[in-house]
Amino acid sequence: MLFIARTSYGEVRSAIEAGLEACKFDPGSKRILIKPNIVSDHAPGVGATVHPAVLEALLEHFGGNRCVIAESCVIGVDTDETFRRTGLVKIAARHGAELVNLQKAKRVPKKWEFGELLLPELFDQCAYIDVAKMKTHILTGATLCLKNQKGILRNADKMRFHRTGLDRAIPALYAVLKPDLAIIDAVWALEGEGPGKFGERKDLNLMLFGNDALELDNLALRIMGFEPGEVGHIAPVELGEIRGARLEDVRTKFKRSKGYYRQINLFYFPCGACSGCTNAISDAVKTLLKRPWKHPLKVLGFILKGILGKRVFIAGPDAAYPHVRGQTICIGNCAAKFAAQENLPHVPGCPPRPEDILDIL
């Protein structure tokens, strides 16, 4: 069953009641594990993370003391600090819910297509609700419920997913771990250079619900205007019954990601890189521009080079020359081979240290 609710964050509680009712979600006597997409400490208004109102409404509906909110942020972002900054610590405490940093969770081995994965034991013990955000994504085209599951992995496995190829690894994870209920927060969605702050918020005022995460992701892609098969990790499936709003009335067209980030004349091509390299570059630029008096010559050089020429950063296991040409610098161990082969400047590390990137800036 699929359910499309038209709503706002102010009215999200009644949308959730209707969605749970339509999907006949019955956790029995189990505890409820809510896995939201909280990749970083973005403000809710950015549209990159599940809105706190959605989590509050779920906790109110089920009763906070039987709920666990569990997440681990992207590589390079401190999950405990993010819980504090986004107000999740206060929300969980107010409702008596448990808040779990999955980086520290007890894990059990699971066989999957590529050998063995260590997954949090909690997922075997609870009724699991995958609460994703509707966003475009610079590497995968879109990120929805299947991709949200990557957030439960250890950092080492997140990196391994990138080396394996996300389009193969994400469906393989879904083959061994399926949510009991899937929800997509599309009240404020994100288009363009998602999944973070470089994307543009798109207000759809929708919440989507489904018993089958793959089917729900397919519904979301149709709403976003993607062609079947366009997002490699989401296999096309026929949609079953849809209740609530009609698909044809809520269909729209999301701006696709161009596949790179740009700030002035600084270009970054992730080439399959995980967020470890992406955040290291972002932190280096932030450090430079936040306290320019600390590195006056670097800032001057950065601005002059930015005006006079292009800087192109490349990271990731699929490192290759992009269509934008300029002074090319390789970042991170995954790009080491390409850097050596092409005799390009290289900042090693996995993830690389922002200070070392700063040196090369």
* Residue ranges in contact with ligand SF4 by CB under 6 A: 159, 162, 273-274, 276-277, 315-316, 332-334, 350-351
Distance (Å, rounded) from C-alpha 133 to C-alpha 283? Answer: 24
CA–CA dist 43, 49 (Å, integer): 8
Question: Under a CB-based contact definition with an 8 Å cutoff, are residues 243 and 275 in contact?
Answer: no
Give first-to-last CA distance, the chain, whole Å: 52
| Shortest CB 195 distance to ligand SF4, Å | 16
**In this complex, which beta carbon is closest to ligand SF4, that of residue 162 or of residue 178?**
162
| Complex with ligand SF4: residue 225 or 348, whichever CB lies closer | 348
Contacts of 90 (CB under 8 A, 6+ apart): none
In angstroms, rounded to a whole number, what is the distance separating the alpha carbons of residues 34 and 131?
7
CB 279 within 8 A of CB 73: no
* Alpha-carbon radius of gyration of the chain: 21
For residue 19, the number of C-alpha atoms closer than 13 Å in the C-beta half-sphere is 31
Nearer to ligand SF4, 118 or 336 (CB): 336
User: Least Å distance between CB 285 and ligand SF4?
Assistant: 16
Q: Which is nearer to ligand SF4, 36 or 276 (CB)?
A: 276
57 or 331, CB closer to ligand SF4? 331
Q: Which residue has the tokens 């896995």?
A: 35
Closest contact distance (angstroms) between CB of 274 and ligand SF4 is 4
What gap in Å lies between CA 199 and CA 230, rounded to an integer? 19
- Cα 68 from chain centroid? 20
Q: Closest CB to ligand SF4 belongs to which residue? A: 276
CB of 278 to ligand SF4, least distance (A): 8
CB of 236 to ligand SF4, least distance (A): 29
Q: Are 220 and 185 in contact (CB under 8 A)?
A: no
| Least gap, CB of 338 to ligand SF4 (angstroms) | 12
Question: Cα 275–361–162 angle (5° rounding)?
Answer: 20
Q: Which one, 179 or 276, has the nearer CB to ligand SF4?
A: 276
> Are the C-beta atoms of residues 170 and 147 closer than 8 Å to each other?
yes
> Between 265 and 279, whose beta carbon lies closer to ligand SF4?
279
- Report, in Å, the least distance between residue 355 CB and ligand SF4: 15
Residues 6+ apart with CB under 8 A from 5: 15, 18, 19, 206, 207, 208, 209, 244, 245
Q: Provide the minimum distance between the beta carbon of 163 and ligand SF4 in the complex, in angstroms, as a whole number.
A: 7
Complex with ligand SF4: residue 64 or 351, whichever CB lies closer: 351
For ligand SF4, the closer of residues 128 and 161 by Cβ is: 161
Taking the least distance from each CB to ligand SF4, the nearer of 68 and 334 is 334
Encode 74-141 in three state secondary structure: CCCCCHHHHHHHCCHHHHHHHHCCEEEEHHHCCEEEEEECCEEEEEECHHHHCEEEEEEEEEEECCCE
Please, what is the minimum distance in Å from the beta carbon of residue 273 to ligand SF4?
4
